[in-house]
Structure 1
């Protein structure tokens, strides 16, 4: 055990017992992943494979890692965001012989990238990524190792955008499955999970009263919709900004006011970005905010809000509460930024609830098992097999004690027929 801890780069091995307790608490709310782990332990579909993973190092991620090792894998884990790492969880995982961890909360960018390189090591057979940093490193700094990768999985919409760009330029060296692009993931993880945990981050870090306040939500995808639903339910007035006419129309028909950011920013008490794009809230928007406005980014990277503009124009910066930076601008107005403009639900709170991550990581585990057990896919970005999502939803409903109807033979024939009478 001591040799394993020496190979890992973690904050404090003495935190392992505390981390184990945290992991155990989360595990009780993750029945689907527990069931998959039991199956993996019996069949050992990942025996002999090394998995390089770049994920948020949280208690829920620990359950995924233990599921993979139960299947026979060796896992090398790096953090996908320095502010999301739970040091006690990293310590608990580093004590597991099949796991090496490179994660310490708050490391600077240089060490962050060193950790990603360390997770790649001598070359993995499978890759699990969250934001595409590991995949990009493999294709730029470790090109000779990319050819040995059987396949990868990408967990975020932002990462999938980067992978599709790589594929379009013929730069992608191995097949990757886009884990975020399934009905189960969009419903549970994005809309309900991140929607709730992002609002939790705002409340936990600021203690703001949302009732009667104006909240501007940039982006009306599943995450933006989840945030908008929850803050409206708490009495906030919600304004949505969009660049795509289809979700913009969806927002209007859902009862939200839709404005360009230039018009929305002066109305905002809180701004939440959920687009996956850069420069969503720019200098001209920041200058127009009401004094006391709160900024939170629900996206993966710290590029949606122009943090550099705030730092360059502020006459004073304070940290009045954990995970909050308060910038005083010329003229005396203040703007509060959560989690340095990084992913707020993990930088300023605990991330998605374990019950949500149960579904997300179950999908991930089953997809990794599927990739390990089949012939190599063609190079490109692929969808999750449809039966994986169905299996996960079925397991979750069973765990909740929910029963649904089955189609009978006549109904199945009716749905598959095109000839004959369709009348009763």
Structure 2
């Protein structure tokens, strides 16, 4: 561990490789490049401090640099112990961004990095999963008074924020970036769909075609995981608690059943619910020998690891990011990436072109909060449609795609109830 320039990182000698990674994603993030140009001119965050907690890899690093280009004093930390990339952290320190993060910290170190980030007394925050907001509303309320507001990245974080709002305890406005069209339609569906299988395939080096994949949860992330599993040649089973989503999965061509039944059939299991204990010991007892468990939800609580440990006679690491649990009857169950986000803990996360749109939304949403925080009030706020649509238009421009516009007569027709 290295303490340098008010930062805590693993190894500053790794910075050159981190710069290469950041340069690569910058070349493939044209929307964020356009927003950076605007920020460099307008300086929306001049004189302000911004704290960021996100999966700390190259795409996130470039978002931090874009916010910095808008005039902010930026501090960043990771939002998951196994997704932080040490070379990227070192590169950010060289670029003048304060960093408190390293790969695979202890739980105590991980918590301390979050607190160090908040002790910079930020005016604005970008959160992923709600850890920064939770600390500001519990043990470090003394640091919350200066916060104007922020933006939240994930489904899990939005659930936590809405619980805070419902209880009447939310102290500042938070924009629900996760719920924006340009986030969940693309990031959650195409980003998660591809990156989950990138992580599983590179980790296991096993074939997917002909196998049975159980996707637990059919939200936008689950839709993407199921779609890509089908494309790889798998038979796909979906489990759900929502009757409407279950019908949707059935209409999309997938088998739908309870987890108790699906547990008997799966070769691969992918959890994407945002909830805890969706795969439990009772399900593991039904699984076939060689079943592979993975999680693509934010926290490592979707697969009950305590109950898996209790069922096992022995445990060993058989390959990087693969733990083998041998059960008392001789069956083996494999857990990927300690049950953490398989696409980030065992991979590089979503493709750069996908995160280009999501992080563009983060950047413009943060500017919107800063401009309007007094009017927004202490609540969870939707991304304004015009910001969402503008990101989509910038994406189309980058792709060289033109679309139609309504004529004055067509607008009049749509606005009228008499024609």
TM-score (norm 2): 0.98
Task: Tell me what 1:53 maps to.
Answer: 52
Task: Tell me what 1:10 maps to.
Answer: 9
For 1:158 and 1:121, how far apart are their aligned partners in 2? 24
For 1:6 and 1:391, how far apart are their aligned partners in 2? 37
Task: Tell me what 1:41 maps to.
Answer: 40
For 1:4 and 1:359, how far apart are their aligned partners in 2? 33
For 2:372 and 2:213, how far apart are their aligned partners in 1? 47
Task: Tell me what 1:317 maps to.
Answer: 315
For 1:209 and 1:239, how far apart are their aligned partners in 2? 17
For 1:179 and 1:375, how far apart are their aligned partners in 2? 16
For 2:108 and 2:266, how far apart are their aligned partners in 1? 35
Task: Tell me what 2:349 maps to.
Answer: 351
Q: Matches of residues 111-150 of structure 1 in structure 2 within 5 Å?
A: 111-150=109-148
For 1:174 and 1:114, how far apart are their aligned partners in 2? 23
Task: Tell me what 1:205 maps to.
Answer: 203
**2:165 aligned with 1:167:** yes
Q: Matches of residues 69-88 of structure 1 in structure 2 within 5 Å?
A: 69-88=68-87
Task: Tell me what 2:26 maps to.
Answer: 27
Task: Tell me what 1:395 maps to.
Answer: 394
* Structure 1 gaps, min length 5: none
CA contact (8 A) 1:196 1:230 kept: yes
Q: Secondary structure at the match of 1:9?
A: strand
For 2:106 and 2:383, how far apart are their aligned partners in 1? 34
For 1:371 and 1:351, how far apart are their aligned partners in 2? 27
Q: Secondary structure at the match of 1:268?
A: coil
Q: Secondary structure at the match of 1:82?
A: coil
Please list the CA deviations of residues 243-263 of structure 1 after superposition, one character each: whole Å capped at 9, or x if unmatched: 000100100111111000000
Q: Secondary structure at the match of 2:15?
A: helix
Match of residue 341, structure 1, among 339, 342, 353? 339
Measured after TM superposition, the shift of residue 374 of structure 1 is 2.7
Please list the CA deviations of residues 84-127 of structure 1 after superposition, one character each: whole Å capped at 9, or x if unmatched: 00110000001122x11011000011110000000001421001
Match of residue 278, structure 2, among 272, 277, 280? 280
Task: Tell me what 2:231 maps to.
Answer: 233
Measured after TM superposition, the shift of residue 4 of structure 1 is 8.6
For 1:259 and 1:53, how far apart are their aligned partners in 2? 39
TM-score (norm 1): 0.97
Please list the CA deviations of residues 326-359 of structure 1 after superposition, one character each: whole Å capped at 9, or x if unmatched: 1111111111111100111001111000001100
CA contact (8 A) 1:175 1:381 kept: yes
Task: Tell me what 2:216 maps to.
Answer: 218
CA contact (8 A) 2:196 2:225 kept: yes
For 1:7 and 1:375, how far apart are their aligned partners in 2? 29
CA contact (8 A) 2:175 2:369 kept: no
Aligned-CA RMSD value: 1.1
For 1:272 and 1:4, how far apart are their aligned partners in 2? 38
Q: Matches of residues 243-258 of structure 1 in structure 2 within 5 Å?
A: 243-258=241-256
CA contact (8 A) 1:5 1:95 kept: no
For 1:375 and 1:342, how far apart are their aligned partners in 2? 34
Measured after TM superposition, the shift of residue 6 of structure 1 is 3.7
For 1:173 and 1:52, how far apart are their aligned partners in 2? 16
Q: Secondary structure at the match of 1:101?
A: strand
For 1:357 and 1:184, how far apart are their aligned partners in 2? 10
For 1:74 and 1:188, how far apart are their aligned partners in 2? 30
Q: Matches of residues 190-201 of structure 1 in structure 2 within 5 Å?
A: 190-201=188-199
For 1:4 and 1:41, how far apart are their aligned partners in 2? 30
CA contact (8 A) 1:4 1:100 kept: no
CA contact (8 A) 1:4 1:94 kept: no
Q: Secondary structure at the match of 1:315?
A: strand
Please list the CA deviations of residues 160-203 of structure 1 after superposition, one character each: whole Å capped at 9, or x if unmatched: 00010011111111111111001111111000001110011111
Please list the CA deviations of residues 359-385 of structure 1 after superposition, one character each: whole Å capped at 9, or x if unmatched: 000000011111222352211111011
Task: Tell me what 2:269 maps to.
Answer: 271
Measured after TM superposition, the shift of residue 319 of structure 1 is 1.5
Please list the CA deviations of residues 41-72 of structure 1 after superposition, one character each: whole Å capped at 9, or x if unmatched: 11101001101111111100011000000000
* Structure 2 gaps, min length 5: none
For 1:27 and 1:338, how far apart are their aligned partners in 2? 30
Misfit runs of 4+, over 6 Å: none
For 2:10 and 2:120, how far apart are their aligned partners in 1? 24
Q: Secondary structure at the match of 2:60?
A: helix
CA contact (8 A) 2:3 2:9 kept: no
